[in-house]
Structure 1
Amino acid sequence: MGAAPSATYSERQNQDLDSSFKAYLKNCKTESKIISQETIRSIQSHLAKGDLPGAHSVISDALKNIDDIPLNIAVTGDSGSGKSSLVNTLRGIGDEGEDAAPVGAKDTTMERKPYKHPKFPSVTIWDLPGFGTPNFQLKGYLDKVKFGEYDLFIIVSASFFTKYDLELAKGIRAMKKNFYLVRTKVDFDLQNEQQFKPTTYEREKVLEEIRNNSLKEFYKNDIELQTFLISNKDSSEFDFSILMDTLLKDLPNQKRNKFMLSLPSITEAAIEKKKESLKQNIWLGAVKDGILATLPMASVFKDNDVEKLQASLHQYRVCFGVDDESLQILAKDLRGHVEELKAIIKSPYLLDTEQDETIGEKLLKFLDGLSSADGGLLATGLYFRQIYLQFHFLDIVANDAKVLLKEAYSRKQLTYH
């Protein structure tokens, strides 16, 4: 018998694509998948049948949906409750930032107003007028502010939730929408307690009292709910990260991904979740691009390959808040210089080249290093070697975000003490 014919490039391509998609599924937690189970089954079916155009179409539609799908979050509460500051925090900007929602004496919302996220324009935070005033009674309020357009609702109070908040919550629940009660300015309450009761002050005890007192109106009606305690001055304190985790859990797959990427990198856990989400985008994009590859990956990078990798690096820096604009804002917030921050991170200089070296040559050096570290697995000539470069960039940028997080915390601690 003659030797079995070797697999054609097309057959090897099918095998690579199928194994890559299986690797994506294996390395992705169920609760954090950015595409639906229905979409996953459809992609698997097309790949199993060798229907690459069908798989490409499904993945392209899924990625476009992830990029374009709108997310609308409504924030409502009385004037002075910190509602507008929360709108700004969710958009990752300060109260004095460009296009910030007005706070303080100017914070009197008379009609709903949309605030686009500066980096993710399909994410909109809506500042709604407070409920329970003569101008805004429950009858007609939900229609007037078009509550049917929002994915979720945050009801904000700086003291305790009133009977009006209770009515509003019931109205939202009747619409089968999720709502969340947020108690702001907790840092001021703690400061006041510590100042006026220095000998009996116990931080955790005061926080528990704030939780219970803020929900008295709900308890009277036998409604048990969680309230999230936050400080708009410092989103790394109190329950802000718990609130964000809860919102993410309650959103559908594609919108969860969009919201995750738009959030500020306030904890290492949040940074890791962003990293996990972006890894999924890389895997799916690699499978989609691999379908169109009719020849094995060349030994040199073409101009469009270099441009794509440069764009990917920039996207990651923006997502994690380590791009040049974000560094300028952080430096100003920390009353330092942007050069000091750049000196402790790597991503701004990642693609800097030596004399007479092209960026393509720099990328090939990265691949050589990654191949050595990976035991030669990257030297197989597979099209998917490029995803390892994207993973490499992503790891560096995510680590930069953690370094900046620690630096900001350290400097703030020195300021407080």
Structure 2
Amino acid sequence: MDQLFSDTSKNEDRGDLESSFTAYFRKTKKESKIITQETIDSIELHLTKGNIQGANSVIRDALKNIGNIPINVAVTGEFGAGKSSFINALRGVGPEYESAAKVGVVKTTMRRTAYKHPEIKTLTLWDLPGIGTLNFVPKDYLEKMKFQEYDFFIIVSATRFTKLELDLAKTIGFMKKNYYFVRTKVDLDLDHEKKCKSRPFDREKTLQQIRSICVNAFSQNSMDVSQIFLISNRHLSDYDFPVLMDTLVKDLPAQKRHSFILSSPNITEAAIDRKHSSVQQTVWLEACKAGLLATVPVVGILRDDVEELQVKLNHYRVLFGVDDASLKVMAKDSQVPVEQLKKMIKSPYLLETKKEETLGEMLLKYLETLDLGNGGLLASGLYFRKTFYLQFLFLDTVTEDAKVLLRETNLRKQFKLDSPKLLTMTRTNDYYQEIIR
């Protein structure tokens, strides 16, 4: 591949790398960081002392941890509460998937059932039978369900929370683990209220009544009122599902946060931005590690490998749901040709080149157009700049692609337009004009 920069590395770049590393993680919000503050402090200390191998070792271990630490989520609730649909929603799969939790099927087993995330293999959601089903006291129930294996519990109900479920939450709290109350099927409650002709429909009042019923159950059980998340498994972006995801991400330990964020469905632009921030941190850590190695003379400068770049780009497209398989599913759900969706995004064509254009010239063109809003992250080591600018470009592009597709989906839901009319509408918008062009 053509050289984009000189292969000369300077020791004084270490100072730039140290200051860039410190500045980057200082500006990253605490609830968004995917490595612990202890790890950040350790890397900074090694850099300050000029201990390149020490800093590299800490970064390498941190990257290994965030990609391999398992996350186990327990979901419990009585039959009919919407547990299976909720688990499928968290996993980003529909009921038609072979690996989906079966919806509307009477449980014949009293054992827990594991459901792996289809892409994030470290995430497992456990469907636990309702505590009332087993007729156990909370402590015995938790022991039988292997309490210690879970990072947190989600208690699901489609009506009101029972005394057994509230007592279970108390016991979970005593054992120093987090629990969250999720009230499902609120869309059905609202639909029912709309059909009631004896009184005018008030959406917010109805939601408040649902919440009040749950709150009263806490009071009757002499329990402090917990946050209650009202959700619809069919319409994730509505109601409290985005708030629930924000809360879970914030409460997780830093080293487990990355995998959980990547598993989150792209239901809002904020969720997509959070995913972008998380992946950006991993790219930046990899870039730091490469930059550190580039200051060691025996390592030298490595050449970019277009095949590896293609693998990385494909990986990002999968993570952000803009890969070919995801586009086919979206096209089927939206009843539009998949090629129409492809015309709206840019990432599938990032590594395409014209005959008269060398690959090096193409990459240089991308570098010239790359938004440097990453805060001057790539300040140290020429291999650092040369390899990782492209990964940041890939990441920024797939992020914007995911937002474009989300907007298109939301427009379709909002206006219920046929595809030609919708495409005409989006083309009148300057932003969409640029994306489609």
TM over 0.5: yes
Match of residue 269 from structure 2:
268
The equivalent residue for 2:180 is 180
Residue type of the partner of 1:285? E
Residue equivalent to 2:392 = 391
Question: What runs of 5+ residues in structure 2 fail to find an aligned partner?
Answer: 1-7, 419-437
Go from structure 1 to structure 2 and tell me whether the alpha carbon gap of 1:108 and 1:401 turns closer, same or farther (over 3 Å shift). Answer: farther
**Cα distance, 1:198 vs structure 2:** 6.3
Is 1:115–1:126's contact at 8 Å kept on the other side of the alignment?
Answer: yes
Report the counterpart of residue 257 of structure 1 in structure 2. Answer: 258
Distance 1:109 1:20, change over 3 A: farther
Letter in 1 for 2:20: S
Distance verdict in 2 for CA 1:339–1:136, change over 3 Å = farther
Contact 1:20 1:283 in 2 (8 A): no
Taking the aligned partners of 1:41 and 1:322, their CA distance within structure 2 comes to 36
What are the Cα deviations for residues 29-55 of structure 1, in whole angstroms up to 9, with x where unaligned? 233111111111111111111111111
Matches within 5 A, 1:102-117: 102-106=102-106, 110-117=110-117
Letter in 2 for 1:89: A
The farther-off stretch of 12-21 and 88-97 is 12-21
* 8 Å CA contact 1:87, 1:125 repeated in 2: yes
C-alpha contact 2:9 2:381 (8 A) present in aligned 1: no
TM-score (norm 1): 0.90
Q: Which residue of 1 aligns with 2:279?
A: 278
- Cα separation, 2, equivalents of 1:92 and 1:38: 33
CA–CA separation in structure 1 for the residues paired with 2:370 and 2:402: 22
Number of residue pairs the alignment of both structures matches: 406
- Which deviates more from structure 2 when the two are superposed, residues 280-289 or residues 135-144? 135-144
**Residues 109/84 of structure 1: CA separation in 2 closer, same or farther (3 Å cut):** farther
Amino acid across the alignment from 1:76: T
Corresponding residue number in structure 1 for 2:433: none
One-letter code aligned to 1:396: T
Shift in CA distance, 170/412, structure 1 to aligned 2, threshold 3 Å: same
* Secondary structure of residue in 1 paired with 2:211: helix
Conservation of the 8 A alpha-carbon contact between 1:115 and 1:125: yes
Kindly indicate whether structure 1 or structure 2 has the higher relative contact order, using CA contacts under 8 Å at least 6 residues apart: 2
1:182 maps to a residue whose letter is V
**Aligned equivalents of 1:352, 1:255: Cα separation in 2:** 36
Distance 1:244 1:404 in 2: 21
Within 5 A, what are the aligned runs for 1:2-401?
9=9, 11-106=11-106, 110-134=110-134, 136-197=136-197, 199-223=199-223, 224-293=225-294, 294=296, 302=303, 304=305, 306-355=306-355, 357=357, 359-370=359-370, 382-385=382-385, 386-401=387-402
Task: Indicate the residue corresponding to 1:5 in structure 2.
Answer: none
Query: What's the counterpart of residue 4 of structure 1?
Result: none
Q: Can you list the C-alpha shifts for 1:217-262, whole angstroms capped at 9, x where unaligned?
A: 2111232112101000111110000011111111111112221111
Aligned CA distance change for structure 1 residues 218 and 16 (closer, same or farther; 3 Å)? same
Compared CA separation, residues 272 and 204, structure 1 to 2 (3 A): same
The SS at the match of 2:59 is: helix
Letter in 1 for 2:173: R
Secondary structure of 2:382's aligned partner: coil
Q: Report SS of the residue matched to 1:132.
A: helix
